Amino acid sequence: MKKPITLFLSIAMALSLMGMSAAAAGKQEKSGAEDSETEASDTNEKKQAEPQKQFRVELNEQKKELQKQVSELNQQKEELEAQYETLLSSGDTAGAEALLTQIQALDEQIQGVKTQIKKTINERWMVVKTMYTDEELAQFDSAADLITQMYADAKTLAAGCVTVNNNLIKFEAPPYIKGGVTLIPVRAVAEKLGAEVSWDADTQKVTITKNETVIEITVNKMAVLVNGVPTEITLPAEVTCGKTYLPLRFLAEVLGFDVTWDGENEVIDISDTTTGESTADATAADTVTTAD
């Protein structure tokens, strides 16, 4: 009787080991498949992100070139207008009329280029929308409504209104203009500028650090410290929609960036002065004083 029992146990153990081996192989195969799916997903996201980033860069470069054209055309127009006034003063009405025709032609060119700029801005908005979910856009709009209720003189800006070296910034709450000064959520912009941000809730102080530059800002105070030196800002930092806001131009320029404000299209381009990636000529914007 012992031999059949021993044989039976041997066969059972062999079958058990084969089953365990098959199960392990199955798990390994499944795990490998999941890893492959994850890698494939990451690769697809990267493939989708690259053309999108390239598209954003191309749109920004196109806009800058068009703004440069507007600047040059406006300069030509100003020169002709000065000559026109001189001819009128001297009584040369025929010469003045001829210049007026040229001025009107320049006006048409300027409007045509501005139309192209608006088209590139609209295309940029379409890219911006792909950066947000419907829920995030709803949250952004709710924050914009709240800001206009909180500050009677505030004007909120659209999502995608700010770029840093051609990269769009994704905001949870919108930048806004208040008292002629553009205020931005500090962390979203500072980190895009390559700085680190820390917040002390007890003292209501924000510390921004980039290389050797340290900026210390206390909410609701006009004076800030830049490397320990007291500096006045145009508007104090304030907490809005749970975000600390600060004047944009002050932050960007202290960290070594140029700011260009396009008032007609309400977009702000920030570029790193240390890399030579300059923005379009500031005179291309209708006003450059708002983006503080």
DSSP sequence for 67-105? HHHHHHHHHHHHHHHHHHHHHHHHT-HHHHHHHHHHHHH
d(CA 246, CA 249): 9
The residue type at 160: G
Q: How far apart are CA 22 and CA 96, in angstroms?
A: 95
Element housing 258 (H / E): strand 257-262
Q: What is the pLDDT along the chain (292 residues), one digit of tens a residue?
A: 444 444 444 444 544 545 545 455 454 544 444 444 444 444 444 444 454 455 456 766 776 787 788 788 888 888 888 888 888 888 888 888 888 888 888 888 888 877 777 777 677 777 788 889 999 999 999 999 999 999 988 999 998 889 898 888 899 999 999 999 999 999 999 999 999 999 999 999 999 999 999 999 999 999 899 999 999 999 999 999 999 999 999 999 999 999 988 888 888 989 887 654 433 333 222 223 334 4
For 160-242, where are the E strands, in sequence order? 162-164, 167-168, 176-178, 181-185, 196-200, 205-210, 213-218, 223-226, 229-232, 238-240
Q: Cα(19)–Cα(38) distance, rounded to whole angstroms?
A: 28
Sheet-wide strand order for 229-232? 196-200, 205-210, 213-218, 223-226, 229-232
Domain ranges of the chain: 46-126, 134-284
Q: What does each C-alpha distance from 231 to 73, 192, 216, 238, 258 come to in angstroms? A: 39, 23, 10, 17, 19
User: What element of type H or E holds 3?
Assistant: helix 2-90
- Residue 121, CA distances (Å) to 58, 161, 162, 267 in order: 12, 9, 12, 9
Report pTM: 0.61
CB of 56 closer than 8 Å to CB of 162: no
Kindly report the length of the chain. Answer: 292
Single-letter amino acid code for the residue at 128: V
pLDDT at 70: 76
DSSP 247: E
Provide CATH code, domain 134-284. Answer: 3.30.457.10
What span, in angstroms and rounded, lies between the C-alpha atoms of 209 and 201?
18
